[in-house]
Structure 1
Amino acid sequence: MTTSTRICAGRVAVVTGAGRGLGRAHALALAAEGARVVVNDIGAALDGSGKAAGPAAEVVAEIRAAGGDAVAHAGDIATSDGAAALIATALDTYGRLDTLVNNAGFLRDRMLVNLDEDDWDAVLRVHLKGHFLPLKHAAAHWRAEAKAGRTPEARVVNTSSGAGLSGSVGQGNYSAAKAGILGLTLVAAAEMGRYGVQVNAIAPAARTRMTEQTFAETMAAPQDGAAFDAMAPENVSPLVVWLSAAASAGVTGRVFEAEAGRITVMEGWHPGPTADKGARWTPAEAGETALKLLASARAPEGVYGAS
């Protein structure tokens, strides 16, 4: 059994999409480490349809039953009003905000030729816009605090995916959204550092509603007596808790893969082989040069699901 270090004692954390799966695990872990938690979840189905207050309320009840402090928020954080209300819930209830964990999302998987415009818009809305708007409203509060001479030790943890890092067949909308979250993370870290805000991203792999069909075999729960459930969402939460805490000072603009007992720092795009003619290429020269450069370049990572 893991012993609490109270690494987040005194902090207030907001977690979106916290009614189930990874978000629920993060909310429970943050509360166990002393954070007061705003549990956001609109209670939608896997494809984003419908609403229900139950999932958020159930996690709040779990936290309180364990001796923690939490409040539910069931609003739509992909709207400006909903995101503003989420941040206001933390400030009105607890008088402060220290950490934002952006996690909400759902899937509408299709091959590109079968992907409807509505499915594209809906997935980018909840994942990418649903990261941007809570971040915008939280950042505005933290900037105001810093300008008033109360520079915070604020933390943002965004949720990308291996699909955002490498792509995933049948998930063009999801992959694009998750890649966009990585760009948003880098920009937010650069812009908000002067105000005491650190922004990082994780690319988790775990057994949740969103992954159980795609990875049914590899993510199956272990049989009774197994020592370690490698795909439990709770395995990802310790890194999220640390990134949410003041103890992570100096770590910003980073992307981590987290799966089972493994943590990997992702190094992103770096310049590879290059050639400079000092003048304009002809198409034939450009093609010949590109092939030479590719021959000495590192092969790209494979796309998930590609043969």
Structure 2
Amino acid sequence: MTQTTLTSAKKFAPVQRYVQCASPTGLHRMAYTEWGDPANKRVLVCVHGLTRSGRDFDRVAAALADVYRVVCPDVVGRGLSDWLGDANRYIVPQYVTDMVTLIARLDVESVDWFGTSMGGLIGMTLAGLPESPIRKLLVNDIGPHIEPGALDRIRDYVGKSLSFGTLGEAVDYAASLAPGFGRLSADEWHEINAPLMCEREDGTWGFRYDPAIAQPFAAVNPDAGLGAEALLWRLFEAIPGPVLVARGAESDLLSAQTAASMVERGKAVSSVEIEGTGHAPAFLDAEQIAIARRFFVGDDALAS
């Protein structure tokens, strides 16, 4: 390996960081991995889905770290971030507040945003607010309207306290919950699912996330859900900058009709459908990463 290669690898290697955030019941730390030049004012924030972690974006971050300072947070209650004392605060307004704190820590005026599922909801909410720092927004398989069947599917598994004899068993179980990610190899499933797990004192393995994240999710009633959807549509329609909606062609959560409505109702919205995936495309392979790069950077070349 040449000295140039060693220098490049070191430059784009991730660094683990934390930022202190606040809720009405106290303070908590949010973890994030940071890629690229820490002095770079061009920042891409990548935010994961409901039970996932920022490590889902390792390949995206490595591919875009030549252009961006890429920041991948673990939303509170997940990954290496703290758990909240009040489970009722596991809601989008709290997540938006935490992200505003993170952006202030990064000391930049604007960011671009890649949000998968829940991360897309957070991004749409923040991007639709007046004076939002979000410049460009990629929304991965999520919209203001979520299909009820997908919500039922998620409720069936989120928050369950499960134990596994080995890390491999835990990784395989997490893979069984996400067939919509696409045709991933065993190594790829391990790459994105191992960071979701932790070994317990008794030698078993389980999910890192706080099971209490399920409480507000399970408590949503139809009337409240309709009100939240109407608000999210208003926020989405107010987003001034470019938006790309990526939809898994077989998604049970984001319908083709909703994706089309997002293009029609938004100010500067385009869409792309990714074959062979459902909810939600994993953005691990080169073709999917190229979609993100074309949108954010404007070229087809992937970072070496």
Normalising to structure 2: TM-score of the pair? 0.37
The structure with the greater share of residues assigned to strand is: 2
* Bigger Rg over Cα: 1
